[in-house]
Amino acid sequence: MKYEGWPEPGELVVGKVDEIEDFGVFVDLEEYEGKRGLVHISEVASGWIKNVRDHVREGQTVVAKVLDVDESAQQIDLTIKDVNDHQRSDKIQEWKNEQKADKWLAIAFGEDMADDQYRHIANELLESFGGLYDGFEEAAIHGHEALEPTGLDDDEVDAIVETARENVSVPYVTVTGYVHLESPNPDGVDDVKEALQAAEGDDVPDEAELDVTYVGSPEYRIRVRAPNYKTAEDELEAAAARAVDAIDAAGGSGEFHRERQLDED
């Protein structure tokens, strides 16, 4: 998508070199509708520049920092030399992500969606999440709940969540812990089974995956996969607590630990 309005001084922007002159470079801004900036020759690269074309070429995609904006003169002053490699890489990735999200909007609402509907949905995502991609990513992780703060209606939320979960690759982390479960009762095996069922729980968030597996009696592994460490750790500890509480209630004993414990001979 392309934003209406003007960039802010200090903002990093993606542009395409449109015209090269002896005094500098004109850059069409990829993210702003109808906006063009100028990189003065002194801002193209550090040191003395004999020929601007030794540093940039027409059609090249560049990342620049906005130095100044004069709306009355329709002028945007840019610098390329003050953008480091890390900033350039991050900005290009952000721009590519927004392009992906722009395509996802078309998937969710159709290629022929009305301009006013597009602006409405895009503005809601921008206001709530700072970008289209971040909005889709949150929808993929947290579902409908993530979009509650927006002004989107139920049908729009449904379409975004469905599209997000089909297209967004969410980064996940995995944490593992172990529970030691024992019961002295004659039906102690059933006590352990019930404790393991309790560990699996009924209220694990949609964004988390929880798996309980047998390691070797009396030890069982709990593995949680979630979008971030806090969620993963919280769900791991909650699952272990449910198992320990259940086995304790049955008259047995339980203990949670992070590393696998081997029985001594």
CATH number, domain containing residue 91? 1.10.150
Q: Report yes or no on 234 lying in a domain.
A: yes
Question: End-to-end distance of the chain based on CA atoms, in angstroms?
Answer: 66
pLDDT value at residue 196: 93
Q: Report yes or no on 262 lying in a domain.
A: no
Among 83, 113, 137, which residue terminates a domain? 83
pLDDT value at residue 216: 84
Q: Report yes or no on 180 lying in a domain.
A: yes
Residue 222 neighbours by CB distance under 10 Å: 25
pLDDT value at residue 140: 87
Q: Report yes or no on 42 lying in a domain.
A: yes
pLDDT value at residue 263: 46
Shared-domain flag, residues 100 and 143: yes
Shared-domain flag, residues 205 and 251: yes
Could you give the CA distance from residue 109 to residue 13 in angstroms, rounded to a whole number? 28
Give CA separation, 44 vs 78, 87, 246, in Å.
9, 16, 67
Shared-domain flag, residues 218 and 251: yes
Question: What angle (nearest 5°) sits at the alpha carbon of residue 82, between those of residues 80 and 83?
Answer: 75
Is the separation of the CB atoms in 172 and 226 below 8 Å?
A: yes
Residue ranges of alpha helices (H) inside 110-218 are 115-129, 132-142, 154-167, 188-200
Is the separation of the CB atoms in 225 and 208 below 8 Å?
A: yes
Instruction: Domain of residue 133: give its range.
Output: 86-167
Question: What angle, rounded to 10 degrees, do the helices at 115-129 and 132-142 form?
Answer: 70
Q: What is the maximum span of the chain, computed from C-alpha positions, in angstroms?
A: 91
Could you give the CA distance from residue 21 to residue 52 in angstroms, rounded to a whole number? 8
Among 60, 83, 106, which residue terminates a domain? 83
Q: Report yes or no on 4 lying in a domain.
A: no
Is the separation of the CB atoms in 235 and 208 below 8 Å?
A: yes
Residue ranges of alpha helices (H) inside the chain are 85-109, 115-129, 132-142, 154-167, 188-200, 229-249
Query: If the chain, 265 residues long, is cut into consecutive pieces of 10 residues, what is the mean pLDDT of each piece?
Result: 86 96 96 95 93 95 97 96 95 95 95 91 94 92 89 95 89 89 92 93 84 89 88 91 95 86 45
Among 83, 104, 121, which residue terminates a domain? 83
pLDDT value at residue 229: 81
